Amino acid sequence: MEIVKVNTGVPYEVLIGAGLLDRAGELTGEAVSGRRVMILSDDRVAPLYLERTEEAFRRAGFAAAHFVFPAGEAHKTLATVERALEAAEKAGLTRSDLFAALGGGLTGDITGLAAALFLRGVDFVQIPTTLLAMVDASVGGKTAVNLRQGKNLCGAFHQPRRVLCDPETLRTLPREVYAEGMAEVIKHGALGGEELLDRIVHGEPLENLIADNVRLKSGIVSLDERESGLRQKLNLGHTFGHGVEKLTGFSIYHGEGVSIGLMIAAFAAEHHGLCRPGVWKELRGMLTREGLPVTTCFSAAEIAGAARNDKKRRGDRITLVLPESRGQSRLYPLAVSELDEFIACCDGTVTGIKEE
């Protein structure tokens, strides 16, 4: 088992190892004082893992109840959170009890927010079951739901007490959902130093791959819990990726958007002499091997237009994250009015590719 410490205000550990799911109760019991748990899960994950998880909690002396909601972004809403809170109240949860998120990043977001709100805040643990949730969403304490106007517009910072990653649960993951996680892993490779990048390129056992990525994210989050500077680097590929997601009406996977966004950032950076040559090509090879898209039919102008409205933008400037050499990326503030021109070079290579 690998253990990664996350040094946020209230520190916690991420445990990674095969078979952890069946030890969820015992390992949670070490980190919290409450003995009543409300497990949240969506209706795809619940049939696969809920019974085993509840059983694991009961074996460790917990009173366990559950709340299952429909899978999909359309249900990542305050309405779902409200129903979860009511279920928790009905199950008799008190201030000292806890929630557990069993599922992907979506379940983690809903559960974290429910835990932040219930009785003005109770503990929660994360049991992520997607690669994306393990390497990205379950670390950092960001929780949110969607509003009609956009994704993740309503949320809170609330750190989990523990995160339990059992790589065996990834076996049931659809290939495209697994690839989404790899998009974030490759993004980490592009900003987390050459050593990490090399380990990702050469391939390593899943447990180590997850631990490496959690270590990187937790290192950054520990230094910048509330996303003022350094943590912005994790947005690499996301400004343009989000633009592409928006243009498709969010019909592509988030990881697919990130993959294309990473390609735009890397290609434009190389074109403007801000990045060593070869970085774009290597990243493109890595993404392609995972079956992720590296081009899009949308033009640079369309993507710049969609990215202009990014919520991460401050005033009339936008902070891009750009690769600068193997394993290194930097923050690059740019006037919003220059965005269009900055990525126009991508047309014909990454963007505006019609024969898809």
Ligand X SMILES: NC(=O)c1ccc[n+]([C@@H]2O[C@H](COP(=O)([O-])OP(=O)(O)OC[C@H]3O[C@@H](n4cnc5c(N)ncnc54)[C@H](O)[C@@H]3O)[C@@H](O)[C@H]2O)c1
Tally of residues, the chain: 356
SS3 state at 145? strand
Q: Please tell me which residue in 146, 180, 215, 235 is annotated as part of the active site.
A: 235
Alpha-carbon dihedral of residues 220, 224, 230, 236, nearest 10 degrees? 60
The type of residue at 20 is: L
Which 8-state DSSP code applies to residue 38? E
Cα–Cα distance measured from residue 143 to residue 227, given in angstroms and rounded to the nearest whole number: 13
Asked if 42 touches ligand X (CB under 6 A), the answer is yes
Q: How far is the CB of 14 from ligand X (least distance, A)?
A: 13
Cα–Cα distance measured from residue 138 to residue 166, given in angstroms and rounded to the nearest whole number: 13
CB 82 within 8 A of CB 21: no
Q: Please tell me which residue in 215, 231, 233, 326 is annotated as part of the active site.
A: 231
Of the candidate residues 13, 109, 212, 290, the single one contacting ligand X (CB under 6 A): 109
Sites for ligand X among residues 133-162 (CB under 6 A): 133, 136-137, 140, 142, 152
Binding segment toward ligand X, per CB under 6 A, in 83-91, 128-136, 200-208, 341-349: 128-136
Of the candidate residues 6, 39, 71, 283, the single one contacting ligand X (CB under 6 A): 71
Binding segment toward ligand X, per CB under 6 A, in 30-38, 56-64, 81-89, 129-137: 129-137
CB 163 within 8 A of CB 14: yes
- The answer to whether residue 75 is catalytic is no
Cα–Cα distance measured from residue 289 to residue 219, given in angstroms and rounded to the nearest whole number: 28
Q: Please tell me which residue in 23, 162, 188, 242 is annotated as part of the active site.
A: 242
Of the candidate residues 25, 34, 103, 160, the single one contacting ligand X (CB under 6 A): 103
Q: How far is the CB of 51 from ligand X (least distance, A)?
A: 14
Sites for ligand X among residues 162-221 (CB under 6 A): 169, 172-173, 177, 180
Q: Both tokens of residue 21?
A: 């799911």
| Residue 308, phi then psi, degrees to nearest 5 | -55, -30
Q: How far is the CB of 64 from ligand X (least distance, A)?
A: 19
Binding segment toward ligand X, per CB under 6 A, in 69-77, 198-206, 298-306, 338-346: 69-77
Nearer to ligand X (CB atom), residue 113 or residue 269: 113
CB 114 within 8 A of CB 92: no
Sites for ligand X among residues 231-260 (CB under 6 A): 254
- The answer to whether residue 238 is catalytic is yes
| Residue 335, phi then psi, degrees to nearest 5 | -65, 135
Query: Who's near 343: CB < 8 A, 6+ residues apart?
Result: 240, 264, 268, 300, 303, 304, 351
Cα–Cα distance measured from residue 348 to residue 311, given in angstroms and rounded to the nearest whole number: 28
Q: How far is the CB of 344 from ligand X (least distance, A)?
A: 29
Asked if 102 touches ligand X (CB under 6 A), the answer is no
Which residues does the annotation mark as catalytic? 120, 142, 184, 217, 227, 231, 235, 238, 242, 254
Positions in the binding site for ligand X (CB under 6 A): 42, 44-45, 48, 71, 73, 76, 103-107, 109, 129-130, 132-133, 136-137, 140, 142, 152, 169, 172-173, 177, 180, 254
